[in-house]
């Protein structure tokens, strides 16, 4: 059985508002996003063209806009909305989304969540 092709976006460092504490709600903070998108890359490779394939630049721009405008209370909700955006708007069979808040916990480099979603998760 052939495994799915994957396109990854690694360490997309953005700024947005996410958190439950008053100080987290006042000003944007660093948010680190990583994605693994399962998609068939053969048509793009065969045509040497992005037509009909997954354009990761478009995905990245949409995620940037979502995070910069975000006012979510949890990283779980932000991860879910990123997954929804990718699955509903692009030719992917599944997506894994990791969202981290660097420096959110004392003595920890970051804290975050990783989720996996597919089209069936967003009817």
Domain boundary assignment for the chain: 6-121
Tokens of 24: 């987290």
Residue 101 appears among annotated catalytic residues: yes
Looking at 10, 61, 77, 101, which residue is catalytic?
A: 101
Residue-wise pLDDT tens digits, 33-84: 999 999 999 999 999 998 889 999 999 999 999 999 999 999 999 999 999 9
Q: What is the mean pLDDT of the chain?
A: 94
Q: What is the pTM of this model?
A: 0.93
pLDDT at 122 over 90: yes
CATH class, range 6-121: alpha beta
Q: What percent of the chain has pLDDT over 90?
A: 86
Measured CA to CA, the distance from residue 32 to residue 77 in angstroms comes to: 14
Q: What DSSP assignment string belongs to 54-120?
A: --HHHHHHHHHHHHHH-EES-HHHHHHHHHHHHHHHSS-SEEEEEEEEET-STT-SEEEEEEEE-GG
């Amino acid at each position: 059985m052939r495994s799915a092709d994957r396109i990854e976006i690694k360490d997309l460092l953005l700024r947005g508002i996410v958190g439950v504490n008053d100080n987290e709600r006042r000003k944007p903070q660093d948010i680190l996003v990583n994605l693994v998108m399962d998609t068939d890359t053969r048509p793009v490779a065969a045509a040497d063209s992005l037509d009909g394939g997954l354009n990761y630049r478009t995905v990245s721009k949409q995620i940037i806009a979502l995070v910069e405008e975000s006012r979510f209370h949890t990283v779980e909700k932000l991860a879910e909305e990123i997954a929804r955006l990718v699955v509903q708007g692009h030719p992917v069979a599944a997506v894994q989304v990791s969202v981290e808040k660097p420096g959110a916990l004392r003595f920890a480099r970051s804290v975050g969540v990783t989720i996996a979603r597919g089209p069936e998760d967003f009817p």
